[in-house]
Amino acid sequence: MELPSTTLAQAVEALASLPGVGKRSALRFALHLLNQPPEEVQELADSISKLTTDIKYCRICHSISDEDLCPICSSPKRNQSIVCVVENIQDVMAIENTQQYRGLYHVLGGVISPIDGIGIRDLNIASLIDRVREGNPSRVEEVILALPTTMEGDTTNFYLNKQLQPLGVKVTTIARGVAIGDNLEYADEITLGRSILHRIPFDKF
Amino acid sequence: MELPSTTLAQAVEALASLPGVGKRSALRFALHLLNQPPEEVQELADSISKLTTDIKYCRICHSISDEDLCPICSSPKRNQSIVCVVENIQDVMAIENTQQYRGLYHVLGGVISPIDGIGIRDLNIASLIDRVREGNPSRVEEVILALPTTMEGDTTNFYLNKQLQPLGVKVTTIARGVAIGDNLEYADEITLGRSILHRIPFDKF
């Protein structure tokens, strides 16, 4: 589609770089913005621009935060002896939404993936080891690995476990099994197999 | 969902104002942008900002344009004696994509809608009348009304026809009928009725 204005074409191209947004949606966004009050459009531009300049990361867990320490790391109500290791900030939000976890987090910023050129040094792994070794902010008794069940996630789990075991910390992973509400017949074999293998006493459920 | 950063929350809120984008998609956009190179994010912000400052409108047809005159109005290849009246720029693009029309356009910028407070003075109607009366850029022989088939569109059609008829110009509207590829049984009654009423000689099809 040929656009009658290079300014519009540039905006469409930039908007089409958003995930799941094609040229048609990007054009719809741009034409919508053209009909909005200029100050609202400027506000959108500014808020996007600020993502590159104003976002800070928590000194301890590497989650995003307005302060030096994120609200979770600085909360006296959280159990500071448990650290849940996740791939990214989305995962922190997903676990927080369950309201089932009261410990702290550690955001790796990815998983080990040689194909994508992501190695151990590209992730927040050294700071996790230091955190457990030095007891920062306080003594860590358990590390929960909550990484994705992909080859990369498993590699990272394996590496972290190897580094953490000598420090005398308990290392656990989140339970995998048939999702609540799902029919057994539609669960994949590996998931169903794991949920039988790791069955739990009925009174603990 | 509570976000751990006000900068992020503001970006999510601004992105959620785009048409068809909810809070969840907006969050996905914002977190995606956080993982992009800062210069790319800044480019997106700049291109959105430029929509408020750099967009110009064609002096004759009010379509968007980089120049004082849009490429269509300034093209010697277009038939300047036919003007197609449309609601907005999207409609210009849709008709251009058919490659069936070689005349000029006139973008009204909306249709008459008392409920939304859009009156005759809010639309590019006076400039259309002037354009036909003064023969600008050249003598107009036919005005094609291609407005939406809504009550507001019909009202606007009726008003424009009343204004244009005394100027001795031919006023037409685009054909309405059963879309090509559609089954007759699924067409709505009004559309099917019109397509029978306005049937055309077989050799002209």
Q: What is the pLDDT of residue A204?
A: 67
Q: Taking residues B2-15, what's their average pLDDT?
A: 88
Cβ neighbours of A13 in B, within 8 Å: 47
Q: Is B125 exposed, middle or buried (0-12, 13-18, 19+ CB in 10 A)?
A: buried
pLDDT at residue A185 above 80?
Answer: yes
Say if B14 is an interface residue toward chain A (CB within 8 Å).
Answer: yes
Give the separation between CA B30 and CA A55, rounded to whole angstroms.
11
Interchain pair B41, A54: CB under 8 A: no
User: Can you tell me the distance from the alpha carbon of A65 to that of A57, in angstroms, rounded to the nearest whole number?
Assistant: 5
* Whether pLDDT at A19 is above 90: yes
Residues 96-155 (A) with a CB less than 8 A from some CB of B? 96-97
Percentage of chain B exceeding pLDDT 70: 98
Q: In chain A, which residues have their Cβ closer than 8 Å to the Cβ of B116?
A: none
Using a CB-CB distance cutoff of 8 angstroms, which residues of chain B are in contact with residue A60?
Answer: none
Q: Is B16 on the interface with A (CB under 8 A)?
A: no
Quote the pLDDT of residue A181.
82
β-pairing, A56-57 vs A64-65, is antiparallel
User: What are the angstrom distances between the C-alpha of B87 and each of A31, B62, B84, B109, B157?
Assistant: 13, 11, 10, 5, 11
**What single letter denotes the amino acid at residue A2?**
E
Beta strand segments in chain B, E:
56-57, 64-65, 79-86, 103-107, 142-145, 170-173
- In chain B, which residues have their Cβ closer than 8 Å to the Cβ of A54? 7
Is B94 in CB contact (< 8 Å) with chain A? no
What's the mean pLDDT in A12-35? Answer: 92
With tokens 């559309």, the residue in question is B191
The pLDDT score that the predictor gives to residue B67 is: 85
Instruction: Give the CA dihedral B127, B133, B134, B140, nearest 10 degrees.
Output: 90
Helices and strands (H and E) in chain B: how many: 7, 6
Q: How far is A46 from chain B (nearest CA, A)?
A: 7
Reading the block at residue A93, the tokens are: 């939000």
Nearest to B51 among A13, A34, A72 (CB): A34
- Is the pLDDT at A61 greater than 90? The verdict is yes
pLDDT at B182: 82
pLDDT (tens digit per residue) in B116-160 = 899 999 999 999 999 999 887 678 999 999 999 889 999 999 999
What residues does B118 pair with on adjacent strands? Answer: B113
Cβ contacts of A87 on chain B, cutoff 8 Å: none
- What is the per-residue pLDDT for A54? 87
Q: State whether ipTM is beyond 0.95.
A: no
Residue-averaged pLDDT of chain A: 89
Q: Is the pLDDT reported for residue A40 higher than 70?
A: yes
Q: A155-159, A171-175, A189-193, B199-203 — which is least confidently predicted?
A: B199-203
| Structure confidence at residue A105 (pLDDT) | 95
How near does any CA of chain A get to the CA of B15, in Å?
7
CA distance A137 to A131: 7
Q: Which residue of B has its CA nearest to A71?
A: B4
Q: Is B46 on the interface with A (CB under 8 A)?
A: yes
